């Protein structure tokens, strides 16, 4: 059947039309439409695969798509990276991860201060670049840690590398991860080191590290690993799943590096899954509401896909999907509740196959489990029999 699956997640590439968008204050959000309206979106490969043939999408459909395609609705009660990826891999979350629009409660802050052995600054939702601009000098004078959150389910700790060595910052994040469990179980605790000074400006450095909440059950990744398949996590995949279920991790700095690593893996011989998160769509462009940057990144992804398709083996499958939306033209800086695209291509995949609207992201994980012959994950309905001829 299928020996290798290359699964690319364009982090936050939504296509609108989520039936419950209004429940998330996201009625009308549509990441794809906003990119199309820029007039600069050029994605002929995705168009050929069937992107604009997906039910309910804007754009010009392809007369004869070369791939299969579907629209995915999220069953989980959330719109973040962690819950989205967990659902793609077979876990539906009935409760959203906690967020803190007013900052963390006093009882949590007191526990954190005790664990850190340091005072805490900020404790508000904040932009990562603005928080070090506004609190960096006070941090250096007081030696207190900068703790902040965002619209996402995260606790972030910023510290100047000249004051707080990375090892100590990471220790503090590990302590915070142990505290932030149960009702306060945020999706991620993130170390945010920075350098610089007030005169020339503070800048974040490359020592970021994420401490994720453990998935509550086995995911597709665990089940593939138990079945003896290789599970290669590219980019943020290790952080999202707290390392669980992976046989190999390759960390990347940006989309281009992630696509370059994926290209190199096309030449490797392995049996299993290459799972790639392309984070720039969300982190660099979506949250910053940078439409032009988002469009450029989609155009670059399309060029990479054009080079990947001819290099796939006869028993390979390539998937492209997303984990939530982050409409760069929408109000605020939050993620947006949207459906997401699913594009599939391989020698054994019939062209022009419309798989319709799937009611759970988990259908993808169930299908990959079916194709790679492992135990199915807890949720999801496989469409492998429809897909592979």
Q: 100 lies in a domain?
A: no
Q: From CA 280, how far away is CA 140, in angstroms rounded? A: 30
Note the pLDDT of residue 301: 98
Whether the per-residue pLDDT at 333 is higher than 90: the answer is: no
Count of domains forming the chain = 2
Whether the per-residue pLDDT at 165 is higher than 90: the answer is: yes
DSSP summary character for residue 183: G
Q: What percent of the chain is predicted at pLDDT more than 90?
A: 94
Whether the per-residue pLDDT at 193 is higher than 90: the answer is: yes
Note the pLDDT of residue 334: 87
Q: 185 lies in a domain?
A: yes
Q: How sure is the predictor about 88, in pLDDT bands with cuts at 50, 70 and 90?
A: very high
* Domain stops at, among 155, 183, 211: 211
- Are 326 and 222 in the same domain? yes
Helix (H, G, I), strand (E, B) or coil at 38: coil
Q: 221 lies in a domain?
A: yes
Note the pLDDT of residue 206: 86
- Are 89 and 126 in the same domain? no
Q: 68 lies in a domain?
A: yes
Q: 187 lies in a domain?
A: yes
Whether residue 12 contacts residue 322, with contact meaning beta carbons closer than 8 Å, is answered with yes
Note the pLDDT of residue 346: 98
Mean pLDDT of 57-77: 97
Whether the per-residue pLDDT at 1 is higher than 90: the answer is: no
pLDDT 10s digits, 294-308: 999 999 999 999 999
* Domain stops at, among 193, 211, 229: 211
pLDDT 10s digits, 375-385: 999 999 999 99
Q: 101 lies in a domain?
A: no
Mean pLDDT of 163-181: 98
- Are 314 and 365 in the same domain? yes
pLDDT 10s digits, 33-47: 999 999 999 999 999
- Are 111 and 243 in the same domain? no
- Are 197 and 237 in the same domain? no
pLDDT 10s digits, 10-28: 999 999 999 999 999 999 9
Note the pLDDT of residue 106: 98
Mean pLDDT of 306-330: 98
- Are 155 and 255 in the same domain? no
Higher pLDDT, 283 or 228: 228
pLDDT 10s digits, 96-143: 899 999 999 999 999 999 999 999 999 999 999 999 999 999 999 999
Q: What percent of the chain is predicted at pLDDT more than 70?
A: 100
Whether the per-residue pLDDT at 161 is higher than 90: the answer is: yes
Residue of 204, 199, 200, 190 whose CA lies nearest to 132: 204
- Are 290 and 372 in the same domain? yes
Note the pLDDT of residue 318: 98
Q: How sure is the predictor about 149, in pLDDT bands with cuts at 50, 70 and 90?
A: very high
Note the pLDDT of residue 389: 81
- Are 242 and 183 in the same domain? no
- Are 227 and 204 in the same domain? no
- Are 119 and 140 in the same domain? yes
Mean pLDDT of 162-177: 98
Note the pLDDT of residue 365: 98
Helix (H, G, I), strand (E, B) or coil at 256: helix
Q: From CA 55, how far away is CA 155, in angstroms rounded? A: 37
Note the pLDDT of residue 328: 97
Q: How many CB atoms lie within 10 A of CB 309?
A: 16
Domain of residue 225 covers 4-94+213-387
Residue 77: give its domain's CATH number. 3.40.720.10
* Domain stops at, among 155, 182, 211: 211
Q: 72 lies in a domain?
A: yes
- Are 227 and 330 in the same domain? yes
Whether the per-residue pLDDT at 339 is higher than 90: the answer is: yes
Whether residue 280 contacts residue 13, with contact meaning beta carbons closer than 8 Å, is answered with no
Whether residue 120 contacts residue 144, with contact meaning beta carbons closer than 8 Å, is answered with yes
- Mean pLDDT computed over every residue of the chain: 96
Torsion, Cα 223 181 326 8, to 10 degrees, reads -20
Q: What angle do CA 106, 107, 112 make, to 5 degrees?
A: 95
Q: 34 lies in a domain?
A: yes
Whether the per-residue pLDDT at 204 is higher than 90: the answer is: yes
- Are 304 and 376 in the same domain? yes
Residues whose CB is less than 8 angstroms from the CB of residue 200 and which lie 6 or more positions away in sequence, other chains included = none
Residue 153: give its domain's CATH number. 3.30.70.1250
Whether the per-residue pLDDT at 175 is higher than 90: the answer is: yes
Whether the per-residue pLDDT at 250 is higher than 90: the answer is: yes
Q: How sure is the predictor about 332, in pLDDT bands with cuts at 50, 70 and 90?
A: confident
């Amino acid at each position: 059947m299928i020996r290798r699956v290359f699964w690319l997640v364009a982090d936050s590439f939504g296509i609108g039309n989520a039936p419950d968008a209004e429940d998330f204050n996201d009625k009308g959000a549509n990441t794809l439409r906003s990119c199309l309206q820029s007039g600069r979106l050029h994605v002929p490969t995705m168009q050929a695969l069937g992107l604009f043939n997906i039910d309910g999408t804007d754009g010009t459909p392809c007369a004869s798509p070369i791939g299969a395609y579907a629209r995915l609705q999220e069953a989980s009660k959330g719109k973040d990276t962690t819950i989205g990826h967990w659902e793609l891999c077979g876990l539906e979350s009935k409760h959203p991860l906690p967020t803190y629009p007013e900052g963390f409660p006093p009882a949590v802050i007191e526990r954190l201060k005790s664990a850190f052995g340091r005072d805490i600054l900020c404790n508000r939702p904040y932009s990562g670049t603005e928080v070090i601009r506004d609190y960096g000098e006070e941090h250096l004078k007081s030696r207190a840690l900068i703790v902040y959150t965002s619209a996402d389910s995260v606790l972030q700790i910023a510290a100047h590398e000249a004051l707080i060595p990375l090892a100590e910052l990471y220790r503090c994040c590990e302590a915070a991860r142990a505290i932030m469990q149960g009702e306060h179980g945020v999706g991620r605790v993130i170390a945010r080191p920075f350098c610089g000074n007030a005169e020339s400006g503070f800048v974040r450095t490359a020592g970021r590290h994420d401490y994720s909440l453990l998935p509550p059950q086995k995911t597709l990744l665990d089940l593939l690993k138990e079945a003896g398949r290789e599970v290669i996590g590219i980019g943020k995949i290790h952080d999202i799943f707290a390392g669980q279920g992976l046989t190999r991790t390759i960390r990347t700095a940006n989309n281009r590096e992630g696509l370059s690593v994926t290209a190199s893996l096309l030449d490797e011989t392995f049996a299993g899954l290459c799972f790639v998160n392309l984070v720039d769509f969300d982190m660099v462009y979506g949250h910053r509401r940078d439409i032009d940057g988002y469009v450029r990144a989609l155009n670059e992804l399309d060029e990479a896909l054009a080079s990947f398709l001819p290099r796939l083996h006869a028993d390979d499958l390539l998937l492209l999907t997303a984990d939530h939306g982050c409409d760069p033209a929408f109000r605020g800086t939050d993620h947006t509740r949207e459906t997401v695209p699913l594009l599939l291509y391989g020698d054994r995949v019939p062209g022009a196959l419309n798989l319709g609207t799937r009611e759970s992201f988990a259908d993808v994980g169930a299908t990959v489990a079916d194709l790679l012959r492992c135990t199915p994950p807890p949720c999801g309905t496989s469409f492998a029999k429809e897909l592979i001829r």
